[in-house]
Structure 1
Amino acid sequence: MSFGQARVSPVRRVVVDTDTGIDDAHTLLYLAGRPDAEIVAITSVYGNCVVDDAVRNIGYVTRLLGLDVPIALGAAGPLEGSPNIASYVHGKDGLGDRGYLRPVPDLAAESSAELLVTLADEAPGELDLLALGPLTNLGLALRIDPDLLLKYRSVVLMGGSGPYAEPGVLRMIDANIDNDPAAARLVFAAPRNELVSVGVNVTAGTILDEQAIGALRAAGTPVARFAVEILDSYLDFYQNEWGRRIIPLHDPLAAGVLLDPGYATGWIDGPVNVVGDGFTSRARLMRTSDGLPPAFPYERTPDTRVLTSVDAPRFVQDFVKTLS
């Protein structure tokens, strides 16, 4: 990727690993609408909903888009412990409980982890991997092939919390990492070509506000209509945070950065560790808010490119235009 400036290059061939909730569905719509992206395959994982619903939701969205790609069934829970399913955010079915008919799509014979390995072996250096959920499938795939990430042109994660925040500042929960810290440790320690963390430190401020939601509603196309229909439970959740019916574009921003690194206006390359405080786990760049190493020993992992700022208004404009 060429960070810091808009990219003009061939179409990105993207493998999407997703726990298909509301913003994941929005991300698939966005990727399908971008002329510089081709969705090659979609692998499912638990997280925003149980994995069986994630697969059904992938099928529903791909049918809406007329998209025929391999779909794989992935992990139902983390490498260690039990899953934390975010039905209180995305609805029990992951798409806001709108009552959509969601038959199970035709599934690949391989699991999500196995398909991630197969695709990388078949086209080394040609594919980009976009991980939108807990990193369990990637952790399982790395157990099969420890050099997996070297075979993808780039890997972009919606996950991480950036560097340590300024004293007194709290971050939104780093849910994808918290759901499987063991798998996340495997990913951040693995050799790679390029690993990019688009974390809650930048996604939380990339807001689809009332005006943008109104523009989607006014578009009236099948894609835009679906994108607005599934928003209610998401808006219900975030109104308790901000007192307004607005949402952060967590997963879509990660896709936007993959396709156009110019959306990133600040980043730091450095080691990321997965650390816990007894309540939640986060993937943190091992730097304080003033750029210094933390005041405790940490693991020297390969450098991850950690975003620290983004051009949120430009991305939101592109997102609305693409879905409209």
Structure 2
Amino acid sequence: MRRIVVDTDTGIDDAHTLLYLAGRPDAEIVAITSVYGNCAEEDATRNIGYVARLLGLDAPVARGAAEPLRGPAHIAGHVHGKDGLGDLGLDRPLPPVAAESGPELLTRLANERPGELDLLALGPLTNLALALRQDPELFTKYRSVVLMGGSGPYAPPGTLLMIDANINNDPEAARAVFAAPRRELVMVGVNVTAGTILDEQAIAALRASAAPAARFATDILAAYLDFYQNEWGRRIIPLHDPLAAGVLLDPTFATAWTDGPVNVRGDGFLYRARLMRTHDGLPPAFPYEPAPATRVITAVDTRRFVADFVEVLTK
């Protein structure tokens, strides 16, 4: 059983992740913290409340960061809809929230239950960085920290990757996370999530199901499909955040990984978190900052994970 604290900028794939976690018998959602990213922080909190009510989930909710450590927030309304759940006009009142902030909740739970909890970060890493300011040893007190973000090792020459949005939204916070001491830090980046596709057949299976989770999962898909059809010419989506949850619960979904230092680097336009290795395992051709080893996922069994995701939501 994995007892999981979820930090989320609750957009469409974050909602799918909560549905997936709630449907897995080996997962317990212990608490949820909100952060800006796919939508504004208030919308992220409202969406947590909506999904929790749908699932009958009784876990404390704490409101987190509304903007990065520096600079303005970049909100992905063009991807997830302005409200984060596809702008369907859902009734989304604010749920009851804890008196403490998201970073305070992350810190308190880790110190009250050291070694018992896993932290799953699905959005910009601002809450985690703020929590590290309160407790620099925070990650040593979580059983594991698994994050959806990063771009893996340097790609083969001529290869382009999807934007590393969670890192790009707050590179300063990401630097603090990858530099912190930890028990286990796992990076599930766009190098593997972009190819983990919920295709037409899988979407049809969700639509055909009478299960409430599957119905909701397909109801909110339109905005996401509208965005990704411009990438591939097909109405399909990548399972970014759900894959990170899958790897946390079942590490055998990952078929290859490398342990090594991760740096956050910018190219003048965007920031990415990179394993400081080339695609063939060599160090990069420039100096880089030393950092504790992060487990960087480099390949996954996409067929098996997508099948599991669909099975869990259609139960």
Pairwise same-fold verdict (TM > 0.5): yes
- Aligned-residue CA RMSD in angstroms? 0.3
Match runs of 1:138-287 below 5 Å: 138-287=128-277
Q: Measure how far apart 1:117 and its partner are.
A: 0.2
CA separation in 2, counterparts of 1:98 and 1:315?
A: 28
Q: Does 1:308 align with 2:309?
A: no
Q: Measure how far apart 1:144 and its partner are.
A: 0.5
User: Which amino acid is 1:314 matched to?
Assistant: R
Q: Measure how far apart 1:289 and its partner are.
A: 1.0
Match runs of 1:75-114 below 5 Å: 75-114=65-104
**1:102-160 deviations in whole A, cap 9, x for unaligned?**
00000001000000000001100000000000000000000010000000000000000
Q: Measure how far apart 1:284 and its partner are.
A: 0.1
SS in 2 for 1:196: strand
User: Which amino acid is 1:104 matched to?
Assistant: L
Aligned residue in 2 for 1:289: 279
2:12 to 7, 14, 22: 22
User: Percent of counterpart pairs with the same letter?
Assistant: 78
Q: Measure how far apart 1:220 and its partner are.
A: 1.9
Q: Measure how far apart 1:95 and its partner are.
A: 0.1
**1:175-211 deviations in whole A, cap 9, x for unaligned?**
0000000000000000000000000000000000000
Aligned residue in 2 for 1:65: 55
Q: Between Structure 1 and Structure 2, how many residues are aligned?
A: 314
**1:232-262 deviations in whole A, cap 9, x for unaligned?**
0000000000000000000000000000000
Aligned residue in 2 for 1:115: 105
User: Which amino acid is 1:87 matched to?
Assistant: G
**1:76-108 deviations in whole A, cap 9, x for unaligned?**
000011110000000000000011000000000
Aligned residue in 1 for 2:43: 53
**1:57-78 deviations in whole A, cap 9, x for unaligned?**
0000000000011000000000
CA separation in 2, counterparts of 1:183 and 1:87?
A: 22
CA separation in 2, counterparts of 1:303 and 1:82?
A: 30
CA separation in 1, counterparts of 2:273 and 2:58?
A: 34
TM-score by length of 2: 0.99
Q: Measure how far apart 1:312 and its partner are.
A: 0.3
Q: Which runs of 5+ in 1 are unaligned?
A: 1-10
Q: Measure how far apart 1:221 and its partner are.
A: 1.6
CA separation in 1, counterparts of 2:112 and 2:132?
A: 16
CA separation in 2, counterparts of 1:30 and 1:289?
A: 32
CA separation in 1, counterparts of 2:284 and 2:33?
A: 36
Q: Does 1:131 align with 2:121?
A: yes
Q: Measure how far apart 1:302 and its partner are.
A: 0.1
Q: Which runs of 5+ in 2 are unaligned?
A: none
CA separation in 2, counterparts of 1:131 and 1:220?
A: 30
